[in-house]
Structure 1
Amino acid sequence: MSSRRVAPAPARFVERFGSALTAAGMPRLPARVFACLLADDDGAMTAAELGEVLEVSPASVSGAVRYLQQVRMIHRERQPGTRRDLYVVADDAWHDAVISAGQVYQPLRAVLAEGVDVVGGKRTTAGRRLALSAEFLDFLTEEFEGVARRWEKRRAELTG
């Protein structure tokens, strides 16, 4: 295991950004892991390295990285020449996470649409509420697709 030490300034950033993500609704340890990977120069660390830097157990890291993988903020790779997993944050992790949110909404939208009939259709107050909720999720999905296209164009301009 390598012995990673984080300098005070990045350590402060990891804690501050992790706290900001937690305040925005992300679980605390996944927020800290994400902040740690963002601040790491190569954006890749093993669970043991993350545990050491964040002063938490490898088991805690396991749950945090599972969460971050589910929301597509990081991905797992095999560390070359070993059997250890390496957790990697993409340079454009926010893009992947936001765009994948549209996919998360599809099962919710489907259940809401089914619920319209269950509560008596759109002629009921509950049915109208459920239908409106489903339409909103459709709207969000379409907007995310537009945002993705606009971001890709802007990113190309920024990276020239």
Structure 2
Amino acid sequence: MPGGRLTQQERQQIAAGLADGLAYAEIARRLDRPTSTITREVMRNGGPTAYRADLAHRATERRTQRRRQAAPRGAEPVSLPYGRDAKAVQEYEETLTTVLMTSGLPTMMARVMACLYTTDTGSLTASELAQRLRVSPASVSKAIAFLEGLDLVRRESAEGRRERYVVDDDLWYKSMIRSARDNDQFVQTARQGVAVLGAGTPAATRLENAARFLDFVTEGLLRAAEQAREILNTETPQAGTADPSSDRG
């Protein structure tokens, strides 16, 4: 299986495959590449409907140039805590970012989430996020506001007037509760439609079936979320050996 960066010809084949409606796995098979490579490439460069081979190639060249400028030749390798491999960590962050993007998060929001989740403290300030992601503070602020609205990130007071942005297990619980509320709102609206369209008509039946399905799923979701929260909150974390190096990974 070939390694290294995608070539411009491969990107043209990706674009052609997307235009033909091929799945990422099939495009990957034809290029003899991992499916994750194709998924990451497409989602990083506009998504399946906006992907352009030439634009994607130029964007990759610009990112490579920025990395070289940020890490000049001869610079000392970055030391990560717990003996982690810096390249493996970077590749994993990109993979996690891609998964978050395919779940519906915009690129910058996915990058912020991946950055927070791969940090041992689970929290960073805006300036730390901007530095690690090599983006502007304004980009970080916009991403945080979006993630807060989904209950995926919360704020904590830090030193002075600064704030830290945190991810933890409880945020997934809150996100599940938010999802359940959204489902319930659709259920109520769907049943209003049944009354308007006339019970028993095809359109009303479709709405009623959707409402019944979401009612059932939401009940199970809430029950599972409560059970998981209770179990996780009563479990005792395994003791680990503290790493003396700073949290940079």
TM-score between the two structures when normalised by the length of structure 1: 0.82
User: What is the aligned partner in structure 2 of residue 102 from structure 1?
Assistant: 180
Q: Does 1:83 align with 2:161?
A: yes
Shift in Å at residue 94 of structure 1? 2.9
User: What is the aligned partner in structure 2 of residue 131 from structure 1?
Assistant: 208
- For the 8 Å contact 1:6–1:53, the answer to whether it is kept is no
- For the 8 Å contact 2:116–2:123, the answer to whether it is kept is yes
Q: Does 1:151 align with 2:212?
A: no
Q: Any idea what the Cα deviations from partners look like across 1:69-107, whole Å, max 9, x if unmatched?
A: 122111112223x22221111144433322331122222
Shift in Å at residue 157 of structure 1? 6.3
Q: Using the alignment, how far apart are the partners of 1:134 and 1:54 within structure 2? A: 42
Identity fraction in percent: 36
Shift in Å at residue 116 of structure 1? 1.5
AA at the equivalent of 2:166: V
Q: Does 1:69 align with 2:148?
A: yes
AA at the equivalent of 1:147: A
Q: Using the alignment, how far apart are the partners of 2:142 and 2:191 within structure 1? A: 32
- For the 8 Å contact 2:170–2:229, the answer to whether it is kept is no
Q: Using the alignment, how far apart are the partners of 2:139 and 2:189 within structure 1? A: 33
Q: Which runs of 5+ in 2 are unaligned?
A: 1-77, 81-85, 238-249
CA separation of 1:96/1:13 partners in 2, compared to 1, >3 Å: closer, same or farther?
farther
Q: Does 1:33 align with 2:101?
A: no
CA separation of 1:73/1:6 partners in 2, compared to 1, >3 Å: closer, same or farther?
farther
CA separation of 1:19/1:40 partners in 2, compared to 1, >3 Å: closer, same or farther?
same
User: What is the aligned partner in structure 2 of residue 45 from structure 1?
Assistant: 124
Q: Using the alignment, how far apart are the partners of 2:112 and 2:192 within structure 1? A: 38
User: What is the aligned partner in structure 2 of residue 18 from structure 1?
Assistant: 97
Q: Using the alignment, how far apart are the partners of 1:140 and 1:53 within structure 2? A: 39
CA separation of 1:141/1:6 partners in 2, compared to 1, >3 Å: closer, same or farther?
farther
Q: Pick the structure with greater CA Rg.
A: 2
